[in-house]
Amino acid sequence: MEPTTLSRPARQTDEPGALAHDDGAAPPPSPAVIEVRGLRKSYGQQAVLRGIDLTVRRGEIFALLGLNGAGKTSAVETVQGLRRADAGDIRVLGLDPHRQRRRLRSVVGAQLQSSSLPERLRVGEALRTFARLAGDVVDWRELQDVWGLTTLRRTAFGALSGGERQRLFIALALVNDPRVVFLDELTQGLDPTARRETWELVRRVRDRGATVVLVSHSMEEVEHLADRVAVLHEGRIVACDTPARLVTRADGSVRTCFTLPAAAGRVRLDHLPGVDAVTRAGPAVEVVGDGTTPLLVAAELVRAGILPDDLTVRRPSLEDVFVRLVQRTTSGEVAA
């Protein structure tokens, strides 16, 4: 039971978990690796999750997006069996996270939002020990090499930078060769360069064959990484789809702005199909319309011999959509 159906533009890949094929045919849905029905969780009197339904399919990067305190961490930690659900049914790879925790732990990897390692523990030592504890199913030296930790192998955890710690945490999440990896606020506190490096690492995790569940409150991160995103607000999923479709569904308004050159004559744009409004402020013009408006406006301007050199197109971002969804939900209009 998915809040919205899965439909994603083609991504060329040979992975069995690919979400769409490049031949245009409707792809068969990948098997679900996580299924959640009616998940509820409270802390004392405070309800944090108020009945969540989710399906995560194999091979995708699935993001859970929400404000701080929206219940994202509670949701993923309950799904992993690190917290107990008050109600609801959860299956991860067919396993009950609470009753079959031990079996589940051998096939999932996790980077938790607020976890740590002993300050004096060295990088190589951590990888070696955790790999051993996971049954030596992967070569920890290879993992150390792949994640750029070889030069840091003798460095204590307490001396690592934020980005280095995250690399180590991702590597540790992979020591059991997991089929599902949970990454919670992975790039929090990282500088832009480290953040982008980390995104690349997440893609590599998926490329290695794992399904990734990403928890984030960063719109930019979700737009860059996620195949699908579920927006969690006040303990409920208020929308779930691909980032692109969420944006398109929520608001199709596209703004085309330009400045008329001084010698340009008048040009009429409000008759163009899809145009909702044309606003002029001196030579500055803003045309509001649907997704085809920028092309039609540009064609009309060319036809009229007007070639503005500052034409810009502003499409709504995921952040715009997110803010609107949150405001609508808060004011009682349930969006999804």
Partner 1 sequence: MTTATPARTSSVPARTTLAALTGLEARLLVREWAPMLFAFVFPPMMMLVLAGVFANDGGAAYGGADATDYYIAAYLGVPLAALALMGLPTALAGYRERGVLRRFEASGLSLTAVVCAQALVTAGLIVLAAGLVLAVAAPVYGLPELHDPVGVALGFALGTAAMLSLGVVLGLLARTARSAQALGLLVFLPMWLLGGGGPPPSVMTDVMQQIAGALPMTHVTDVVRDAWLGTGEIGRPLALTAVWLVVGLVLCAWLLRRRPDRV
Residues near partner 1 (CB under 8 A): 29-33, 35, 58, 77, 80, 82-84, 91, 93-95, 100, 102-107, 110, 112, 114-121, 125, 129-130, 132-135, 172, 175-176, 179, 211
**Residue 298 DSSP class:** H
- In the block, which residue shows the tokens 């690592």? 160
Nearest-Å Rg of the Cα atoms of the chain is 24
- In the block, which residue shows the tokens 């960063």? 218
> Nearest distance from residue 315's CB to partner 1, in Å?
35
Question: What does DSSP say about strands 46-57 and 32-43: parallel, antiparallel, or unpaired?
Answer: antiparallel
> Nearest distance from residue 328's CB to partner 1, in Å?
31
* Residue with Cβ nearer partner 1 (114 or 193): 114
318: alpha, beta or left? (left if phi > 0; alpha if psi -120 to 50):
alpha
Strands, E assignment, 44-154: 46-57, 61-65, 87-92, 108-111
Distances in whole angstroms, Cα of residue 7 to Cα of each of 54, 92, 243, 285: 15, 22, 11, 36
* Residue with Cβ nearer partner 1 (58 or 206): 58
Calculate the dihedral angle through the C-alpha atoms of 248, 9, 294, 299, rounding to the nearest 10 degrees. -150
Alpha helices in the chain (DSSP H): 72-79, 101-105, 123-133, 140-146, 162-173, 192-207, 219-225, 243-250, 293-303, 318-330
Q: Are 258 and 312 in contact (CB under 8 A)?
A: yes
- Nearest C-alpha neighbor of 247 from the set 329, 316, 336: 316
* Residue with Cβ nearer partner 1 (80 or 187): 80
* Residue with Cβ nearer partner 1 (173 or 231): 173
> Nearest distance from residue 237's CB to partner 1, in Å?
18
> Nearest distance from residue 245's CB to partner 1, in Å?
22
* Residue with Cβ nearer partner 1 (176 or 329): 176
* Residue with Cβ nearer partner 1 (186 or 246): 186
> Nearest distance from residue 327's CB to partner 1, in Å?
31
> Nearest distance from residue 127's CB to partner 1, in Å?
12
* Residue with Cβ nearer partner 1 (2 or 223): 2
> Nearest distance from residue 149's CB to partner 1, in Å?
16
- Nearest C-alpha neighbor of 275 from the set 305, 300, 250: 300
